[in-house]
């Protein structure tokens, strides 16, 4: 798999105490199609029960990106809530953040890592995600 380096001046951390939870909530609840209107308390619970990845500017420490993984850390993971702040876009940070998530999860020996996207297929394909070969066997409860 191809490795993607973060551009100089950026770092990824999985430390939940470092997250700017207010910014994450604002981004997701106001600027995404998948979490539009998500209540703050629901976002807090999602963060508390997930593996979180914050993307930070090194100099200022400002958070400029976020990704969340729902996983049992043994067999399965769901990558979701991937977001890069508008002012930080266009620098390859979304791809690099997704690669950092992929690389972190690689050590867990998961059987499957899934995600769903309406408009960012190219970003995820760059780090190895592919359309499902047998999507007909998958089912869902609670469609949006």
Instruction: Provide the pLDDT confidence category of residue 143 given band limits of 50, 70 and 90.
Output: low
Per-residue model confidence (pLDDT) at position 38: 97
| Higher pLDDT pick, 144 / 78 | 78
- Of the candidates 60, 49, 50, 66, the residue with the CA atom closest to the CA atom of residue 13: 66
What rounded mean pLDDT belongs to the chain? 93
Q: Looking at the predicted structure, is the pLDDT value of residue 110 above 80?
A: yes
Q: Coil, strand, or helix at residue 41?
A: helix
Q: Of 93, 92, 38, which Cα lies nearest the Cα of 64?
A: 93
Give tens-digit pLDDT for 56-70.
999 999 999 999 999
Could you tell me which residue, 5 or 40, shows the higher pLDDT? 40
Residue 5 tokens read as 């380096």
Tell me the pLDDT band of 134, cut-offs 50, 70 and 90. confident
Residue 77: name the closest of 46, 47, 102, 45 by CA.
Answer: 102
pLDDT attached to residue 2? 58
pLDDT at 4: 73
What does the pLDDT average to over 93-100?
96
User: What per-residue confidence (pLDDT) applies to 141?
Assistant: 87
């Amino acid at each position: 798999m191809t490795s993607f380096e973060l551009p100089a001046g950026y770092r990824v951390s999985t430390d939940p105490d470092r997250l700017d939870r207010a910014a994450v909530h604002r981004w997701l609840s106001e600027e995404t199609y998948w979490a539009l209107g998500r209540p703050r308390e629901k976002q807090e619970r999602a963060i508390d029960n997930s593996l979180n990845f914050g993307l930070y500017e090194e100099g200022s420490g400002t958070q400029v990106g976020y990704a969340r993984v729902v996983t049992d850390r043994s067999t399965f993971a769901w990558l979701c809530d991937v977001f890069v702040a508008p002012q930080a876009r266009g620098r390859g940070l979304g791809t690099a953040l997704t690669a950092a998530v992929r690389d972190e999860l690689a050590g867990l020996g998961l059987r499957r890592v899934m995600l769903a996207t309406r408009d960012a297929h190219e970003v995820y394909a760059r780090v190895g995600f592919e359309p499902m070969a047998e999507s007909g066997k998958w089912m869902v409860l609670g469609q949006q």
